[in-house]
Amino acid sequence: MKKIEEFNSRKNRKIEHIKFYLKSEHENSTLFEDIYLEHNALPELSFEDINTKTLFLNKKVDYPIMINAITGGTDFSQEINRQLSCIASEFNIPIAVGSQTIALYDEKSRESFKVVRKIMKDGVVIGNLGSTATVEEAKVAIDMIEADALQLHLNVAQELVMNEGDRDFKGILNNIENIVKNINKPLIVKEVGFGISKDVAKRLNDIGVSYIDISGSGGTNFIEIEGIRRDDIDFTDLYSWGIPTALSLIKCIAVNKNLNIIASGGIKSSQDIVKSLCIGASMVGISGEILKRLLEGGYDLAYNYIEGLTHKLKILMLLLGKKDIEELTKTPYKVKGELKELI
């Protein structure tokens, strides 16, 4: 009986996250506006020369843009995952599912995750669990969707604002080390919108984690989303918490050149994507902006959004005189304003 109640409350929470994401309105800055890229008036390239293909998790993808973790576990989530997978498959870009925790013990909810692999065929599909998962659970989550990698999310700020959230965060690093050493797929450790500091990236790198998704602040804000779910405490004074995405990215890139850094958190525009790649990200993740379009404007609006980003990525590459992603990631950039101060 307790298990059923737990499943139901988890399912309700998933739906509320989406509902309250749409209601959230506080905006922090990613500080990407403080990155300056120089225009090249003599690129000596034609638009057709621009190659946006890249290798990610040992598979070829057409663009360094991914649909990041959002949902799963309910019929509503299944439909969202189905539509997002169709878009990811059309553009041959990676997609991550939302937390699979519910599906570990509730067989009925597995279809809402499996649909992603069915539609993506051989494309890049990434699993997702919380960082307290066991090795056994990690293996089940990977097998469930034949995942190319598993994301483990760090969401301390979110848990602390949730009434029913965790309060004990001891032993997480050891647990991640145990998982990274005992699964046969790459592990991606990710935040959910508050950023990864240089020190945390180093500690993760030291235990063998080679993929970090920084998911910084400037986009989806789980302090606000969870705050709206509560009526006993006003959390508005914490809404500005977090490491801006551009700052987190610059700091984490400096840790180790062999570390693969995924930029996410507040990615909205093609300039955000290009700036992330110039700083050195190997992939750029989007959750909130595509979800908003899908829910408010339907499949076509979400599809057009990604189509526009891919087209403008090519335009910007040409304007920088860079013919492929490898060249793009070596583009010099200047830092100004608040971002410069924080660095």
For binding to ligand FNR (CB under 6 A), which residues are involved? 17-18, 21, 68-71, 98-99, 128, 151, 153, 190, 192-193, 215, 219-220, 264-267, 286-289, 291
Cβ atoms of 187 and 209 within 8 Å: the answer is yes
**Minimum Å distance from CB 161 to ligand FNR?**
14
Type of residue found at 113: F
CB-wise, 50 or 294, nearer to ligand FNR?
Answer: 294
d(CA 196, CA 61): 26
d(CA 90, CA 156): 35
**Minimum Å distance from CB 327 to ligand FNR?**
26
- Of the candidates 299, 290, 289, the one whose C-alpha atom is nearest the C-alpha of residue 79 is 299
d(CA 187, CA 92): 21
**Minimum Å distance from CB 154 to ligand FNR?**
9
d(CA 267, CA 63): 15
Q: What is the DSSP letter of 51?
A: B
Burial class of 16 by CB neighbour count within 10 A (0 to 12, 13 to 18, 19+): middle
Burial readout 303-340 (b: 16 or more C-beta within 10 A, e: otherwise): bebbeebbeebbebbbbbbbbebeebbebeeebeeebe
268 in a labelled binding site: yes
269 in a labelled binding site: no
CB-wise, 101 or 322, nearer to ligand FNR?
Answer: 101
215 in a labelled binding site: yes
**Minimum Å distance from CB 317 to ligand FNR?**
22
**Minimum Å distance from CB 44 to ligand FNR?**
35
Q: Which residue is nearest to ligand FNR (CB)?
A: 219
Residue linked to tokens 């959910």: 192
Burial class of 237 by CB neighbour count within 10 A (0 to 12, 13 to 18, 19+): exposed
- Of the candidates 266, 302, 257, the one whose C-alpha atom is nearest the C-alpha of residue 284 is 266
220 in a labelled binding site: yes
Residue linked to tokens 């989406």: 18
71 in a labelled binding site: yes
Count the Cβ atoms, other than its own, within 10 Å of residue 167: 7
**Minimum Å distance from CB 186 to ligand FNR?**
15
CB-wise, 7 or 319, nearer to ligand FNR?
Answer: 7
CB-wise, 76 or 299, nearer to ligand FNR?
Answer: 76
128 in a labelled binding site: yes
**Minimum Å distance from CB 219 to ligand FNR?**
2
CB-wise, 173 or 295, nearer to ligand FNR?
Answer: 295
263 in a labelled binding site: no
Q: Is 195 left (phi over 0), alpha (psi -120 to 50) or beta?
A: left
CB-wise, 50 or 150, nearer to ligand FNR?
Answer: 150
287 in a labelled binding site: yes
CB-wise, 127 or 280, nearer to ligand FNR?
Answer: 127
69 in a labelled binding site: yes
In the annotated binding site, the residues are 13-14, 69-71, 99, 128, 158-159, 190, 215, 220, 266-268, 287-288
In the annotated binding site for substrate, the residues are 13-14, 158
In the annotated binding site for Mg(2+), the residues are 159
